[in-house]
Structure 1
Amino acid sequence: MNIIYMLLAISVFVALIFFVLFIFSVKKGQYDDTYTPSVRMLFEDELVKEDTSSKAKTSKETITNPEK
């Protein structure tokens, strides 16, 4: 039974070491993406198409029925 407690303590200790190293690497900028912003400017932005049929319909209704 003592070996289970010892292995549990060792595994928690190793997990804490990996967690501290991960936090350290994130703070140092290890996972910062420096490549994508420089390449992103080479691609065209996607155009957002508006639904012109609904706009035309509402403007047509206001011309024919000015009371509404």
Structure 2
Amino acid sequence: MNILFLLIGCSVLIALIFLGAFFWANKTGQHEDTYTPSLRILFDDEVKEKPKE
């Protein structure tokens, strides 16, 4: 029974850490640009010509 209380406590602690990381990411503007990633995938790889021998 004691291990159950330990596991519940650990899971609540991990959940609070992830919640804090989520709020930190929102505060620093991590989720503000939603348009650029959709364009970046289109122009990610440039076509490189093979050198002629």
Q: Normalised by the shorter chain, which TM-score bucket?
A: 0.5 to 0.7
Moved more, 26-35 or 4-13: 26-35
Q: Which runs of 5+ in 1 are unaligned?
A: 37-68
Equivalent residues in 2 for 1:45-64 (5 A)?
none
Greater Cα radius of gyration, structure 1 or 2: 1
TM-aligned CA deviation for residue 35 of structure 1: 2.7
Higher relative contact order (CA 8 A, sep 6+): 2
Q: Give the equivalent residue in structure 2 for 1:32.
A: 32
Give the ranges of 4+ consecutive aligned residues of structure 1 lying more than 6 Å apart after TM superposition: none
Alignment partners' CA distance in 2, 1:24 and 1:5:
29
Q: Percent identity between the aligned chains?
A: 50
Residue identity opposite 1:26 in structure 2: N
The structure where helix makes up a greater share of residues is 1
Aligned residues: 37
